[in-house]
Chain A
Amino acid sequence: GENVEQHPSTLSVQEGDSAVIKCTYSDSASNYFPWYKQELGKRPQLIIDIRSNVGEKKDQRIAVTLNKTAKHFSLHITETQPEDSAVYFCAASRENYGQNFVFGPGTRLSVLP
């Protein structure tokens, strides 16, 4: 089955710097890759996603890149702000008797003022 690894597990950056989180997946049939942000005590919320027919997607300060050959995808946050502090989860998904999602273990991002 699918296995998703995520690095680093914790990341501290200064406000205004960039943050990069990388995920690797094992199933070459996975074709949809969402990223979720989870603040303490709250639900995971989608922040950006990418499909396998696209190499990069950007939404204001957030971007995601996908390398299908190497089977990895990355989240890039520029000009970080204290409110970006949260746990970020990546996931890989494919259609297989429904849409199956496998999540990475998460990255705790701390943005220091």
Chain B
Amino acid sequence: NAGVTQTPKFRVLKTGQSMTLLCAQDMNHEYMYWYRQDPGMGLRLIHYSVGEGTTAKGEVPDGYNVSRLKKQNFLLGLESAAPSQTSVYFCASTGNRGADYSNQPQHFGDGTRLSIL
């Protein structure tokens, strides 16, 4: 049981390049989230998903797109990377329909360190 797996772990991009970050969970969770964490700051929600085929905007969605084509995967895309998107990106998941899936803690991946030059 791997939990939440993020790939890649590190990436350096040039301004204007595009890339996709992958998040995979094997806990049959309904809800998945993408956060960014900047130095000395907390976690800010970019986008989230409440189930396969659904996505919604969070606090800081501009410049990012997401897709959840399969329940276990949540993809975060940067179409045209900007230096302001240099950050550590965390994926999280929660909510197992096998039980009372509300009010359960989030499980986080190890993060992706993204630098944009």
Interface residues of A (CB under 8 A from B): 31-32, 34, 42-46, 49, 51, 89, 93, 95, 97-101, 103-106
Give the contact-size bracket for chain B.
Answer: 20 to 34
In the complex, B31 has a CB within 8 A of chain A: yes
Interface residues of B (CB under 8 A from A): 30-31, 33, 41-43, 45, 48-50, 56, 90, 94-95, 101-111
Q: Is the CB of B110 within 8 A of A42?
A: yes
Q: Is the CB of A103 within 8 A of B43?
A: yes
B111 to chain A, nearest CB (A): 6
Q: Which 5 A-B pairs have the closest CB atoms?
A: A98-B50, A32-B103, A43-B108, A105-B42, A46-B105
Q: Which residues of A contact B50 (CB under 8 A)?
A: 97-98
| Cα separation A31 to B104 with both chains bound (whole Å) | 11
Q: Is the CB of B103 within 8 A of A99?
A: yes
Nearest B-chain residue to A6, judged by Cβ: B42
Q: Which residues of B contact A100 (CB under 8 A)?
A: 48
Given the interface contacts A31-B103, A46-B105, A51-B103, does A103 sit within 8 Å of B42 by beta carbon? yes
Q: Which residues of A contact B45 (CB under 8 A)?
A: 101
B105 to chain A, nearest CB (A): 4
Q: Which residues of B contact A97 (CB under 8 A)?
A: 50, 56
